[in-house]
A and B are shown apart, each in its own frame.
Chain A
């Protein structure tokens, strides 16, 4: 394999994890916009997506496609229940209080998943059987194509929802100023609820799509949450497109660091990037430096 092929291989690997990070970053970004808090339990939605798909397939015996769909729906439901029970009662509290609640939620959800599905790594078959595709001299699994397709669909759907529908307008309005949105007759309660539902779905889509490639376990949530959060910070916790770009950049950076250095510190790359951006450009890579408006 020549240098070009190797590079292509690493780029595809980067785009693969980048897609996951993008979906996770979107989850963080929309919840941040709606509540002003970082939802630490976002990684658990990813975990639940994969685990519930495995469970639907094995325990319920439904076909793979249905299992994936069921997993996404159930995870969204769990996300809504979590929001209604744990976030809503303190929604107007200091964001720190909400963050602490989601930290507790993360630990609770992953521990419950361990009791429900056991401590082992669980596999999911790929959506379509068959060998890898040859693209630009690199090997790309069919599942990776599914992953990109689902990511693109999710991003497109979310963008349309946000920019073309009345509900999206309500969501954007309450992100800018919750009190003002309320005064304009927007039910911010519903906005937050739907936002969590979407965040659950985004996490679950990522989980369902990537489990055939990586397997899953009850404990995968926090580490993917750190990555997704890093991507969201790279994107400046702002627009959906910036989050997606943040995810892809993070994935590529990770993959290229593996190529240049070694795989041992792959996970550290994302975090170092996170810390660097937090410290040097807290407004993200794409936004012009933030100015307080009077």
Chain B
């Protein structure tokens, strides 16, 4: 065939050692960064006391680097691959030897890519996509271009995979203003929760930090002022805190959407869709419609006013797990049609009609869960913050009840000829859509209490996620279960 014989074991390109050494160093530091950070922190605080340890620390860091370099080099030496008897075999590992065998039939796709660093060194990376297997993950980080192409040919030839078609046709560009809009209409409660957790976690350290930067006593003043000042100052302080929290949440949402989605463009060919986005880390995803297992639309009250949606593709497991689920922001209702046509081959109609609501017992279930959650929150918070926390329940209880109300209101399922639509969400209105033939397995569940009420819930598993249709009358559940099974088993359509 070519000058490469893949039947004898071969290694990666020698230039690629750096791709093994660098991550190795990075990994080592990742696991050692906390003590290091602690030392640096302490050093700035109290240089005199910690200076004597400098040489020890320096020596430690040096050893770590040498150790990582050796580890990287050894993992390069032990990384071998070859093809034998219709199997692609990969051997790696220094102490724990690993041997991966992939049947060539199972290979879905072979990607060759080159990131900035790889371009700099003059090598390419190769990754192998297998169907559905969770354990196989093959990424070869550095190969010469010729060798990578030859390997791809050797892997792909056995199965006559179609060459990936080049895409050029831009279908959609999301403009800057549309993204700002999407950011502003985000579910800010999520940002608020996240920020609250971070701030709560930092609260203990804030005092130290303000002290360190010369604002000694700032926190004490504020807290004494907040607890013992006049009513006016107390109200001002709480009011300001809330305003700042809201502003921070909104800014956080907008910035997050911006960073992840800046310059979003969607290109489209017959078989694949290519999505490019990101501000600092520009990423390109190539999606094949057959690999997409389900589609999720998200909107909320505010977004709905402007007819805006965000979209999420859930893909089947692939070699690069982080790219499994892909989200796009700032879409309009009519844009969704483009994606429906691409993913399903037909537009999704009657999203609103034929909605079957869950049994009212679902409300009871939600209520019981909320009670558990409230008890848990109270037990933890009161033991940490004191009895004063119980006042917060005045806000917490109605808020949770309101969320439950929304959760019930937004729950439904909609069984259609080829697909099923599942509604859920609280602040967000979430619409899950998946085709029957994407189902991997089904589960029907009935707790002791559900049995008494003659209701049951069904969980549907696809290769990317699972979805639960909450309590519905038992007879109805059995009919749905049977017909979903019948749909999967009577079709020739494969899930990938």
Q: Is the A/B pair a real complex? A: no
By a beta-carbon cutoff of 8 Å, the part of chain A in contact with chain B is: none
